[in-house]
Amino acid sequence: MLRDLPLGGDRFSASESTPVLSPYDGAEIALVPRCGAAEVDRAVAAGRRALDEEPLPQWRRAEILDAAAQLLSERVEAFAAVVAAEAAKPIRTARVEARRTVSTLTFSALEARRLAGEMVPLEASEVGAGKLAMTFRLPIGVVGAITPFNFPLNLVAHKVAPAIAAGCPVVVKPAAQTPLSAIALADLLLEAGLPPGYVSVVTGPASDVGEHLVAHPDVAMITFTGSPEVGWAIRGKAARKKVSLELGNNSPVIIEADGDWESAATRIAVAGYSHAGQSCISVQRVYVHEGVAAPFCDLLSQLVDNLIVGDPLDERTDVSALISAAERDRVLSWIREAESDGAKLSAGGTLRDGMLTPSVLEAVTPTMKVSSEEVFGPLVAVATYRELDDALRLANLTRYGLQAAIFTANLAGALRAARELDYGGVLVNEVPTWRADHMPYGGRRDSGNTREGPHYAVAEMTEPRLVVLQP
């Protein structure tokens, strides 16, 4: 079935199309149009026209987003089924993503209502005596949103909903593997009352669609989630635009001897393997104190061995297929390489019905790829330490800096970790995979240059205008 696109204020179907295939069994789910530069031009022009001719007041932006949140809350099952089918995300996890998207829309509506400038105290300066000054926030312009496959609904919402709250038209280039969730969300927003020119979806190769969107002179801002290599390349090509990047990580967890290692193991057995570990903040590196390492590793391996691998639409499934066979083979090769360098495989590391089983490696060293790079697969790598100094050093021994965590009963240790872990977020007695959709979320170094969450994204998508009054 060919899915048409909301594009440039109309429905679009191209003569050329691209199949969307299930990562689980390779079945064709749908066909989507193969767009190119002409379609990007059309979408951007419609957005620019909508902004010029039909600017949305804040109350209307909020009303649309609230209506969309209500509609989605009534259709969680339908949206979860789309996510599960195109991303091989287990259906229970896909439902969580759909419910989180309701939250993202709701918080964006709140930001639309409270978006405001500020008074500027000009009389603090002698030259400002007798004058009154204020700022107000204006939409930055057309936003180009380039989104990844791993959260094909909620990460699209984290770009589109704040753009609407800011009053910006948005052109979405979803991941080629998972375009259907983005199309469904755009259609939902139109149903909720969004004027058609305010949202377009362009599907097609990154070399055609993505590159042209990045270079387009009428796109004021690019917001991108994906790999550091692609993200920083976009930043280099778009020097005159605002570019917001949310990139990768190899999330560390420190488990102190006084920490609740049983709780840590139980949480990591979920957080390291949800959606087959394909999350920027999936637990990847665990540094456990040598005094509790043996029981911790035994429990974690047992819990991981008990995870059910299978069909994403099966209610029992915990872990399903990686997004592609190539990614599965890459992760498996990293596991084998680590084993040959001395790591011990204590769970998983095999193929079952073509899927990589959830894996645990122990005795991992910092130079192994499973530690130094972002795995983006169902694998947790464990190492031991003796002193907190060593654990903090090892956790920081990375080019990434998104989120990290520590399990400890010691307040001083927790506060020290909060100060010394060089990450955008530090969680105490919780896994770094945890995220609330309204919190400031983003990282340092190769993990990005911005903070997401509706309040923070709206600030990025608006610009202040100063007004000075002389009575």
Q: What is the CATH number of the domain that holds 161?
A: 3.40.605.10
Q: Provide mean pLDDT across the span 359-372.
A: 98
Domain that holds residue 358: 252-436
CA distance 22 to 72: 23
The answer to whether position 442 is within a domain reads: no
The answer to whether position 395 is within a domain reads: yes
pLDDT at position 1 is 81
Q: Are 150 and 271 in a shared domain?
A: no
Q: Are 327 and 465 in a shared domain?
A: no
Sole residue written with tokens 């530069």: 37
| 15: pLDDT strictly greater than 90 | no
pLDDT at position 14 is 85
Do the Cβ atoms of 163 and 145 come closer than 8 Å? yes
Mean pLDDT, the chain, rounded, equals 97
Sole residue written with tokens 């069994």: 25
The answer to whether position 443 is within a domain reads: no
The answer to whether position 458 is within a domain reads: yes
CA distance 463 to 168: 11
CA distance 332 to 348: 10
Q: Give the DSSP per-residue string, 288-345.
A: EETTTHHHHHHHHHHHHHT--B--TTSTT-SB---S-HHHHHHHHHHHHHHHHTT-EE
- Residue 463: partners with Cβ closer than 8 Å, 6 or more residues away: 137, 138, 140
Write out the catalytic residue numbers: 246, 280
Q: Are 313 and 414 in a shared domain?
A: yes
Do the Cβ atoms of 230 and 224 come closer than 8 Å? yes
- What would the pLDDT profile of 277-315 be if each residue is shown by its tens digit? 999 999 999 999 999 999 999 999 999 999 999 999 999
Joined tokens for residue 170: 């948005």
CA distance 49 to 307: 51
Sole residue written with tokens 């089983």: 357
Q: Are 77 and 159 in a shared domain?
A: yes
The answer to whether position 409 is within a domain reads: yes
- Residue 304: partners with Cβ closer than 8 Å, 6 or more residues away: 269, 272, 273, 347, 348, 358, 359, 360, 380
Q: How many domains does the chain have?
A: 2
Q: Provide the CATH number for the domain around residue 280.
A: 3.40.309.10
Buried b (16+ CB within 10 A) or exposed e, 67-90: bbbeebeebbeebbbbbbbbbbbb
Q: Are 81 and 177 in a shared domain?
A: yes
Q: Are 127 and 261 in a shared domain?
A: no
User: How far is Cα of residue 249 from the mean position of the Cα atoms in its chain?
Assistant: 11
* Strand-pair category, 379-385 with 17-21: unpaired
- What would the pLDDT profile of 422-471 be if each residue is shown by its tens digit? 999 999 999 999 999 999 999 999 999 999 999 999 999 999 999 999 98
In terms of Cα–Cα distance, which of 204, 152, 160 is closest to 182? Answer: 152
Q: Provide mean pLDDT across the span 370-397.
A: 98
According to DSSP H, which parts of 88-217 are helical?
91-114, 154-166, 180-191, 211-215
Phi (first) and psi of residue 168, to 5 degrees: -100, 135
| 318: pLDDT strictly greater than 90 | yes
Q: Are 275 and 423 in a shared domain?
A: yes
pTM, entire model: 0.96
Joined tokens for residue 202: 């362009």
The answer to whether position 262 is within a domain reads: yes
Do the Cβ atoms of 62 and 458 come closer than 8 Å? no
pLDDT at position 421 is 98
The answer to whether position 441 is within a domain reads: no
Q: What is the Rg, in whole angstroms, of the alpha carbon atoms belonging to the chain? A: 23
The CB density around residue 465, as the number of other CB atoms within 10 Å, is 11
Joined tokens for residue 66: 């609230």
The answer to whether position 24 is within a domain reads: yes
Q: Are 392 and 330 in a shared domain?
A: yes
CA distance 133 to 118: 9
pLDDT at position 112 is 98
Q: Are 423 and 274 in a shared domain?
A: yes
Q: Are 182 and 270 in a shared domain?
A: no
Q: Are 372 and 239 in a shared domain?
A: no
Percent of the chain with pLDDT over 70: 100
Q: Are 419 and 287 in a shared domain?
A: yes
- What would the pLDDT profile of 331-352 be if each residue is shown by its tens digit? 999 999 999 999 999 999 999 9
